[in-house]
Amino acid sequence: MIGISTYVEQARFSVQDALSAVLPWSYVEQVRTAGGRPVLVPPCPDGGLEVLDGLDGLIIAGGQDVEPARYGELAHPKVYTSPVRDAGELPLARHALMHGIPLLGICRGMQVMAVVSGGRLHQHLPEAVGHEGHSMPGPKKRYNNHLVRFASGSKCRELLGAETEVNSYHHQGVADPGRLIPTGWCPDDDLIEAVEHPDHPFAVGVQWHPEDLADPALFVALVTAASQSKARRSSLVTV
């Protein structure tokens, strides 16, 4: 059972036009194809940690910027946030990291992981890297593509090889990963593109959008880790 955090957006469907908990279908399909059961987890203002009791793994999905006050800074004028998502997702990510729950952070999700690990973000990435290559849509008005190189011995290198091409579209980036370990970088500007928790069975954050790529390796690894975690818990209950 893999929980996936949702966006909170105004959405139109049937006769409705309302604030909604929504998620791109590609997340659902990637988890399902990897052998997991996707469970959508809308943000709960008090964190809603009890939802994790029924899950074997967690994905923090992409979306808006993390509120800079969450890492002790005043907001840059270009920041666009979702306080309701921050309130719901930061406690879930923190709990998953503390208690060994398999966790995959995607784009915003990687930034959430860094913030709850004591890190901080580049609030307006073009000012940090000197270009808008990460934060402007590509020719098809969605992503830009670039390479990411991975550290030797990392889970990302094991899953994706020494180097891979990724799809990128994000306004912020990780400046300091806190207790997480950087394991992937953009060779053009050395921006951190992947992080991992060194003492966790599976806690990986990536700055790109693997749900829209053909390679399912990250989702398969998450579902595998979740299945192993579930088996360990079951054996303890049996004993």
Indicate which residues carry an active-site annotation: 107, 209, 211
* Structure tokens given for 97: 């990291």
Q: Among positive and negative, which fits the CA dihedral 135, 139, 141, 147?
A: negative
Written in H, E and C, the secondary structure of the chain is: CEEEECEEEEEEECCEEEEEEECCHHHHHHHHHCCCCEEEECCCCCCCHHHHHHCCEEEECCCCECCHHHHCCCCCCCCCECHHHHHHHHHHHHHHHHCCCCEEEECHHHHHHHHHCCCEEECCHHHHHCCCCCCCCCCCCCCEEEEEEECCCCHHHHHHCCEEEEEECCCCEEEECCCCEEEEECCCCCCEEEEECCCCCCEEEECCCHHHCCCCHHHHHHHHHHHHHHHHHHHHHHC
Structure tokens at 123: 């609030």
